[in-house]
Structure 1
Amino acid sequence: MQENGVFFMRTEDWEMLAELYRTENITQAAQRLFLSQPTLTSRIKKMEMYYDVQLIIRKQRGITFTPEGEQLALHAQKMLYEQRRIEEQLHNMKDQFAGTIRVGVSNFFALNKMPKLLRLFKQNYPDVEFQVVTGWSSEMHRLILNHDVHIGFIKGDYIWNENKHLLYEEEICIASPWDFQWEDLPQLPRIDYHTDEKMRSIVDQWWYSTYKQNPNINIQVNQVETCKEMVIHGLGYAVIANLVVRPHTDLFIRPIHLPSGESVTRKTWMYYHEETLKLNIVKAFVQFIETLDVKAL
């Protein structure tokens, strides 16, 4: 920023650098920060003039950071982390249940569980705000590892040496618009959807331990909800988590099993760092979640 001809860094500049480093794209960073591209570009140029180094290199698609720019962007991330930490500590010192809880949530959980959880929690703690980030469970695992969020709601078992609470375990099943025989599945049309590596590995392990043929995938979609709608409309079957299709009683839903007879399941966890429980609002939210039957919501 610049006042009376003198440039100095502010929180907004650290946020801009961190977001640009995360996206490597000026257009995306500007959109996420609610800035115009010319404004973002102008602020980068002022920083380059101030530090007397080139920070970014424009490519045909997106940008890349110079070594000097990367060093400053990593410093920006540290500055933002310290700013959040001191704000949280100050709120906590007031001994009040107010402030913002940062949560990373897997896509299905965000759509089907999170709105109800937040509504119930805010009935008792109306002054608490939430910053919710959604995406694949692997992305949410990275966020909680890096302390970018206080709490992660994650499907699947990831490497984690701190606190976690099992929310529920669900069966992986075949959901079909018509009755079927197990031996006929390789010939029947299957609808596939983009998912994280953990889920893909579970499904592939089951399939290739059961069948020698490849599945007959005739439709591929990006989202599990789109896949579910395709199944409902009779276009094929899907290998899918039970909670996604459980409300649709007109479908033929059968759990899958390994050759050993063991059912194939996937767990959903709440991950959090022990140190975050020092914050009143985080501790209250964790305790609130632990008392609920989340699967039944």
Structure 2
Amino acid sequence: MDYRDWEILKVLYSQKNITKAARLLFITQPALTNRLKHMQEELGIKIVTRESRGVHFTPQGEYLVHCAEEALSHYQKVKENVRNMSNISSNEVVGTLKLGVSNFFANYELPYILKLFKMQYPHVEFKVITGWSRDVTQLIHNKDVHISFIRGDYGWRGLLKHLLFEETICITSKEEIDMTELPHLPKIEYRGDYLLKSIEDHWWAENYAEEPFISIAVDQVDTCKEMVINGLGYGILSSRVLAGIDDLYKIDLTDQNGDPILRRTWMYYHEESLEWNVVKAFVNFIENFDWKEK
């Protein structure tokens, strides 16, 4: 079986219809059917069975589809790596840069950064995977991406990291509030990254004996921010989320020594990735980026 066979299996499985799959693969229906027949004869198994509404994959066929996804993914990685490595000996910066990015960073920071980098290196392409910081940390650990941008002090041995910026964590509301009354005031609960939640819970336990009065619970930071702006309750948000919003009441969380509690954002990468010009150029670009001027 070759690359095209794996591609046929993947597309056919998604469509469950030979006519539709052939159209997406830009081949004729008889050609697809003959190729499928050849695969079945080569392996000595039945991959699909015909039904009135399309095709049904046998257990062996289901397994082959899983293998197809792995084979195609591996081929793509090989192709990207070879393309990147072909430019190591020159000063040319081209290739595909794979980034794992926390949801906040993807929304608030990344587009502008990629715009500036692309202006400097127009032949670089990007593949971006977003998610919670804990999941993005796993991506860089598994080497599924070249570079990760992560909020919070997650740590993996064997990784290099660079601190991008620090931000405070704030109690924020539309109107001024009495902090002694906080447990009795409606809270817009942002259920985000668990590390941020643990920081918040620890601070609360040090300052209050009562549980907070959660009025509304959301899973998006922008939703929480908008509800606070509209006076529906207070929220606990990082200062960078609130940048440019001046008509909100804000109090920084502090520890028992009175020092502000900070949340850090990091860039993580593997040292061996710097052998690729595209990764080295991007790391250097980020390390020299002025976050205060953004």
- What range describes the TM-score normalised by the shorter chain of this pair? 0.7 to 0.9
SS class of match (1:213): coil
Question: Residues 84-113 of structure 1: CA distance to partner in whole angstroms, max 9, x if unpaired?
Answer: 234323343243311211111111111111
CA contact (8 A) 1:192 1:220 kept: yes
CA contact (8 A) 2:9 2:65 kept: no
Question: Residues 153-204 of structure 1: CA distance to partner in whole angstroms, max 9, x if unpaired?
Answer: 0001112221110001111111111101211111111101220111111111
| CA–CA separation in structure 2 for the residues paired with 1:15 and 1:220 | 43
Distance 1:125 1:220, change over 3 A: same
Is 1:192 the counterpart of 2:189? The answer is: yes
SS class of match (1:205): helix
Aligned residues: 265
Q: Residue in 1 aligned with 2:115? A: 119
Question: Residues 23-57 of structure 1: CA distance to partner in whole angstroms, max 9, x if unpaired?
Answer: xxx8xxx5xxxxx45469979x95994753889xx
Give 2:4's match in structure 1, choosing from 10, 13, 18.
Answer: 10
| CA–CA separation in structure 1 for the residues paired with 2:70 and 2:292 | 36
Distance 1:230 1:89, change over 3 A: same
**Which amino acid in the other structure matches residue 80 of structure 1?**
S
CA contact (8 A) 1:150 1:282 kept: yes
Distance 1:105 1:244, change over 3 A: same
Give 2:208's match in structure 1, choosing from 193, 197, 211.
Answer: 211
Q: Residue in 2 aligned with 1:90? A: 83
Shift of 1:9: 4.3
Give 2:103's match in structure 1, choosing from 92, 101, 107.
Answer: 107
| CA–CA separation in structure 2 for the residues paired with 1:153 and 1:121 | 16
Q: Residue in 1 aligned with 2:241? A: 244
| CA–CA separation in structure 1 for the residues paired with 2:18 and 2:214 | 47
Shift of 1:283: 0.5
Distance 1:213 1:106, change over 3 A: same
Q: Residue in 1 aligned with 2:53? A: none
Shift of 1:71: 9.1
Give 1:282's match in structure 2, choosing from 279, 287, 291.
Answer: 279
CA contact (8 A) 2:6 2:65 kept: no
CA contact (8 A) 2:80 2:96 kept: no
Q: Residue in 2 aligned with 1:156? A: 152
Shift of 1:205: 0.9
1:1-297, aligned counterparts within 5 Å?
A: 8-10=2-4, 13=7, 16=10, 30=14, 36=15, 38=17, 49=40, 51=43, 52=45, 73=66, 76-77=69-70, 80-81=73-74, 83-94=76-87, 95=90, 96-161=92-157, 162-297=159-294
| CA–CA separation in structure 1 for the residues paired with 2:136 and 2:100 | 5
Q: Mark the runs of 5 or more structure 2 residues left unpaired by the alignment.
A: 23-32, 49-57
- Provide the alpha-carbon RMSD of the alignment: 3.1
Q: Residue in 2 aligned with 1:60? A: none
| CA–CA separation in structure 1 for the residues paired with 2:119 and 2:265 | 25
CA contact (8 A) 2:98 2:127 kept: yes
CA contact (8 A) 2:100 2:130 kept: yes
| CA–CA separation in structure 1 for the residues paired with 2:70 and 2:140 | 15
CA contact (8 A) 1:187 1:216 kept: yes
CA contact (8 A) 1:15 1:76 kept: no
Distance 1:37 1:288, change over 3 A: farther
**Which amino acid in the other structure matches residue 293 of structure 1?**
D
SS class of match (1:235): coil
